[in-house]
Chains A and B, each alone.
Chain A
């Protein structure tokens, strides 16, 4: 039994440890993860969705095409709300339905609902449902689940300790040792954005690698713990209601106020609804800290490599210059 997990959104770019830990522990299940995003995947994704979808959604459809026909079932839960009081964006909610419309009506999806706000259980419950749908007994599911949970907790702890999430995910996927990125400079650059764009090397045009080559020592919002995020959001009378939006705003607020931050890069996919509004709030915090270089980048499938490189170079130049200023003072 081949079970497909698309390399998309937070399914892979955050919850891979949980997913892999769980499905690999189910006897007889072979976990198949779609190939890393490439030109072909993006092209197929673009061709099968409406023009105005955001880049991550287009990429997602490409990956589903990739898995369709190559596996027996595809795990694609409907993520509505993962924690009380917040919500995923509409595109996450409608994803399984859109996939059936855009990719293939017969797509063999396992698509349980995670909606804690309406008492439907969270991500873990979607795995339990999937396990049942695949015909496993509760005791087997329980065991698999605890393996997944342990792996996820370990990943989270590693992220918080400053390890590179991309390398961590790769280690889990290939079952090899964690190998930290080779090049690491001395500029404390903080990258704020959605893991599924930042960690997708093809879709983000290697933004993280580029920054490292330019001398960055990177942390992303994955390295900020939940408590800190909530504390930062406490500054707002009406914090955002999007799960990832909350993280992004909280992490931006935290990093911009940290004394050791050399610069902050805010990355959003073109057409990302929540990001389009949150940028206004993030820019307001950045304006309060004019000594911290800040830049916002919008990426889509038309973004050119050279254009991105130029902007990142300009950004790191700005950091060096602001350092010089401080030293002169």
Chain B
């Protein structure tokens, strides 16, 4: 059994910790690339959403190097994400691959624990749980570093350095062997970021933009053409209230991690516009847009894959949010035909627009 799993942001770092602890043989699929995309697109249903296609590409690339068991997330709904596995399993079967699928079910905590038991390789549940928690700790550390990057890109005179630091620490955290090491890296990173030279701006004069949208597209910089970095390098402060660890907490727990997560806050802010969770990140997209608008942010960028059901709901509602909360919202839709230049042009125009609004003549 040679395990593999489709990519989603930095999830592989947490999964690596887990699978190492299980003593399982596994392959991390090559970083998502143009090749991944074209492989995935070739064999996917045409109007399936982009994450399905990219994940199928990840699986095909991993299978080429010998992976025969796919670890996927299943169940949940009503968004399509929870049903990817079943469809991908069928596609791989039709293509003649002899692979088995293992589903992490989102439906109940019991399902989740049973899944751990299936792949446990004889290790104790406690040991697995510890590994999993350490994996989550690493993700949290990486998200903290990403936060530092967003902060310092906007205020630094050398924003590209922030990106370099981020890459460096991402690798270091991936390699780190224990909690104390991760903590040390966090401290070191903070010091290094703070040493970056600042440009001559006041807190108030920097434009502030929030990024919301469908999780996968927000997390995969290959898909979204690193918009977060680009905005930062334009001197814009970016806030991204959507993260992998928050999503994992939401999916895995029935409230045991934190008493009130970002999602609950978002729901409260969304209440006047979207009174019920319509799946995926829909309620977060709406709620966080309302929240950041009320906090005086200058604009929102909303990401979604083409045909994404929950985000189409959000998009329909964001037009009203934009009007009533008086905040410009740019929706960017991604599929295999999306071109970098088109996205960048629109992003630049958007930043021009909000900067003109922020400093009236």
Contact = CB atoms under 8 A, between A and B. Distances in A.
Interface of A: 49-50, 52-53, 57, 78, 80, 87-91, 93-94, 96-98, 100-102, 105, 113, 236-238, 240-242, 270-274, 276-277, 279-281, 284, 287, 298
B171 interface: no
Interface string B318-339: 0110000000000101000000
A123 B314 CA distance: 24
B83 interface: yes
A90 B280 CA distance: 9
B317 A90 contact: no
A50 B319 contact: yes
B48 A276 contact: yes
Contact of B86 (A89, A273, A281): A281
Contact count band on B:
35 or more
A97 B90 contact: no
B94 to A, nearest CB: 7
Contacts of B84: 277
Nearest to B79: A90
A90 B85 contact: no
A100 B313 CA distance: 12
Interface stretch (B6-14, B125-133, B247-255, B268-276): B268-276
Nearest to B84: A277
A105 B320 contact: yes
B309 interface: yes
A241 B78 contact: yes
A252 to B, nearest CB: 14
Nearest to B274: A97
Interface string B153-196: 00000000000000000000000000000000000000000000
A53 B307 CA distance: 8
B279 A90 contact: yes
B47 A270 contact: yes
B46, B309, B319 pick with most chain A CB within 10 angstroms: B309
Contact of B319 (A93, A101, A287): A101
Nearest to A273: B309
B317 A101 contact: yes
Contacts of A57: 312
Contacts of A271: 47, 307
B78 A49 contact: no
A241 B75 CA distance: 8
B87 interface: yes
Given A53-B312, A97-B273, A102-B316, 6 more contacts: A101-B317, A105-B320, A240-B86, A241-B77, A276-B49, A277-B48
A13 B315 CA distance: 27
B87 A277 contact: yes
A9 to B, nearest CB: 14
Contacts of B274: 94, 97
A78 B83 contact: no
26 contacts: A52-B333, A53-B312, A90-B312, A93-B276, A93-B277, A94-B282, A94-B316, A94-B317, A97-B274, A97-B278, A97-B317, A101-B319, A102-B319, A238-B74, A238-B85, A238-B103, A240-B83, A240-B86, A241-B75, A242-B78, A270-B47, A272-B47, A273-B80, A273-B308, A276-B45, A276-B307
Nearest to A238: B86
A44 to B, nearest CB: 15
A93 B87 contact: no
Contact of A93 (B103, B308, B313): B313
A118 to B, nearest CB: 10
Contacts of A238: 74-75, 83, 85-86, 103
A113 B316 contact: no
* Nearest 5 interchain pairs by C-beta: A94-B313, A101-B320, A94-B278, A241-B77, A93-B278
B45 A280 contact: yes
B306 interface: yes
Contacts of B21: none
B91 interface: yes
A273 B94 CA distance: 22
Contacts of B147: none
Interface string B214-244: 0000000000000000000000000000000
Given A50-B315, A93-B78, A242-B78, A236 B86 contact: yes
Q: Taking each of A49, A53, A241, A280, which has the highest tally of chain B beta carbons within 10 Å of its own beta carbon?
A: A280
A276 B317 CA distance: 24
B310 interface: yes
Contacts of A100: 320
A241 B313 contact: no
A98 B276 contact: no
A54 to B, nearest CB: 8
A90 B309 contact: yes
Contacts of B306: 52
A144 B132 CA distance: 55
A236 B90 CA distance: 11
Nearest to A277: B87
